[in-house]
Amino acid sequence: MPKTDKNGLLKQEKQSSKTLLASLISIFIGLIVGAIVVWVVGAVTPEITAKGTSDGIKLILFGLFNTGRNASGALTFGFNAVNIGNMLFRATPIILTGLSVAIANQTGLFNIGAPGQYLIGTCVSLYLALSIPSDKVHPVLIWLIAFVAAMAAGALWGAIPGALKAFLNMNEVIACIMCNWIAANVVTWIFDESNLKNTTEGTKTAYIYKTTYNNVATGKMGLDKIFPGSQVNGGFFIAVLFCIIMWVIMSKTTFGYQLKACGSNRHAAKYAGIADKRNIVLSMAIAGALSSAAGALYYLAGNTEFFWSTYQSLPAAGFTGIAVALLAVNNPLGVIFSGSFMSMLTVCGTQLTYMTPFNEYITDVIIAVIVYISAFSLIIKMLLNKRKEKQYDKRDGGELITPEKAQDEPAEAAGKEA
């Protein structure tokens, strides 16, 4: 391997380590700020005692391992199968929406359309899963049909803003926002006209049946043995598998290189012979398929009923994916950990609400701080790298030379001497 290639690899590894360090620092600062917020709120609220404040800080930091209170009323901590299993279940959709946003970001696009794509995947998967009779078709086959169809529908929905960007040069953010609300109203209309509404329980007429209604639900894949009593299922493994596949595609294949090249400079990529329009559409189609997979896995699990009046709001998982991607710095493997961390904060917020006088909105403050610090730390890292790379050499009359050029100079000098 040439010397410059080794230097390039070393530089890439250093950049990756700096990026990981920046994300870890952001998480640490966010948790510390969250603990400070809990302390301040406890200090200014007369109803909250010092013990309540202390418990709130403990739950923010270690709520995932909370096992309740002992006879004296003190919090106890240890392996909590329910909390950890529920964390993995809730992490599944935001890992996939985070992956969707991350892949689009790597290709120079901002996929703020993840909520609409999430809804499309939810609609198609539930409609097929509940409409195909499970007494005539095997439930596993129904699940596969519903999941694959949901991803295909999401790919088509994501391709719409991609096509508008590629062929009409329309800003993808505007196109995605319009598609979000179109999806919300279309999904509401489809379920409103369907016979899938839960009519067996009088208070739940605005909800769709769970997939357990006809025994079509995501398999546990043995996770129910490790985390008994929780909602976890094999969907988490599927989400992790997608992250690994997308990392391989984006890092190790020509197709991934072409997608990133179009994102870096569309016109230069086109000049180099890369089909820029096709790759823009494909990028958004992949992002749409991943977001739809998130919705499908969440509701095919059979744990949660879907509220069909979606025109009133958009799913939070789609927007949380933006924070997940930012915290992972658009790394498909990093999305697994950042998505799990965000899910952990949600579980900790639930513990905080039920076991202390605090409310769950403190976790939203923590997430906001983490995202903000992540963006700020990336800016600092970028400025530091730029300052380090540019070295002023007076010997060359003030020419700006990079470390790579400085390393190549001895080889050039040796060639001249020869």
Residue 356, SS3? coil
**Least confidently predicted of 124-128, 212-216, 231-235:** 212-216
- Number of other CB atoms surrounding residue 374 within 10 Å: 23
Phi, psi of 57 (to 5 degrees): -65, -40
**Measured between alpha carbons, how far is 166 from 352 in angstroms, rounded to an integer?**
47
**Measured between alpha carbons, how far is 114 from 100 in angstroms, rounded to an integer?**
7
Q: Where is pLDDT greater, at 115 or 209?
A: 115
pLDDT, position 394: 43
pLDDT, position 368: 76
Q: pLDDT tier at 102 (50, 70, 90 boundaries)?
A: very high
pLDDT, position 203: 63
pLDDT, position 270: 85
Pairing of strands 207-208, 75-77: unpaired
**Least confidently predicted of 115-119, 133-137, 414-418:** 414-418
pTM reported for the whole predicted model: 0.84
**Least confidently predicted of 17-26, 35-44, 138-147:** 17-26
Nearest Cα residue to 357 out of 14, 29, 44, 134: 44
For residue 186, what are its two tokens? 């279309």
Q: Contact 262/280 with Cβ under 8 angstroms?
A: yes
Q: Where is pLDDT greater, at 380 or 263?
A: 263
End-to-end Cα spacing for the chain: 22
Mean pLDDT, the chain, whole residue set? 83
pLDDT, position 20: 63
For the cut 50, the answer to whether the pLDDT of residue 196 exceeds it is yes
For the cut 50, the answer to whether the pLDDT of residue 9 exceeds it is no
For the cut 80, the answer to whether the pLDDT of residue 32 exceeds it is yes
Q: pLDDT tier at 86 (50, 70, 90 boundaries)?
A: very high
**Measured between alpha carbons, how far is 253 from 249 in angstroms, rounded to an integer?**
5
For the cut 90, the answer to whether the pLDDT of residue 149 exceeds it is yes
Provide mean pLDDT across the span 18-24.
66
Q: pLDDT tier at 40 (50, 70, 90 boundaries)?
A: confident
**Least confidently predicted of 83-87, 208-212, 277-281, 354-358:** 354-358
For residue 46, what are its two tokens? 């007369």
For the cut 80, the answer to whether the pLDDT of residue 374 exceeds it is no
pLDDT, position 194: 85
- The residues, any chain, with a CB within 8 Å of residue 74's CB and separated by 6 or more, are none
Q: pLDDT tier at 93 (50, 70, 90 boundaries)?
A: very high
Q: pLDDT tier at 388 (50, 70, 90 boundaries)?
A: low
pLDDT, position 391: 47
**Measured between alpha carbons, how far is 350 from 35 in angstroms, rounded to an integer?**
16
**Least confidently predicted of 15-24, 247-256, 286-295, 318-327:** 15-24
Residue reference for tokens 């790379």: 389
Nearest 5°: the CA angle 20, 23, 25 is: 110
pLDDT, position 268: 86
**Measured between alpha carbons, how far is 375 from 387 in angstroms, rounded to an integer?**
19
pLDDT, position 120: 96
Provide mean pLDDT across the span 237-244.
96
Q: What percent of the chain has pLDDT over 90?
A: 42
pLDDT, position 205: 66
**Measured between alpha carbons, how far is 40 from 37 in angstroms, rounded to an integer?**
5
pLDDT, position 74: 87
**Least confidently predicted of 148-162, 182-196, 356-370:** 356-370
Q: Where is pLDDT greater, at 47 or 296?
A: 296
Q: Is 414 exposed, middle or buried (0-12, 13-18, 19+ CB in 10 A)?
A: exposed
Q: pLDDT tier at 216 (50, 70, 90 boundaries)?
A: very high
For residue 201, what are its two tokens? 């329980």
243-266 burial, b for 16+ CB within 10 Å, e for fewer? beebbebbeeeeebebbbbbbeeb
**Measured between alpha carbons, how far is 48 from 356 in angstroms, rounded to an integer?**
9
For residue 395, what are its two tokens? 């010997």
Q: Contact 79/359 with Cβ under 8 angstroms?
A: no
Nearest Cα residue to 375 out of 311, 327, 337, 309: 327
Q: Contact 142/132 with Cβ under 8 angstroms?
A: yes
| Element spanning 67, H or E | strand 66-69
Provide mean pLDDT across the span 380-406.
51
Residue 215, SS3? coil
Reported as a single tens digit per residue, the pLDDT across 49-81 is 888 888 888 888 888 899 888 888 888 999 999
Residue ranges and CATH numbers for the domains of the chain are 22-79+359-392 (no CATH), 81-356 (1.10.3470)
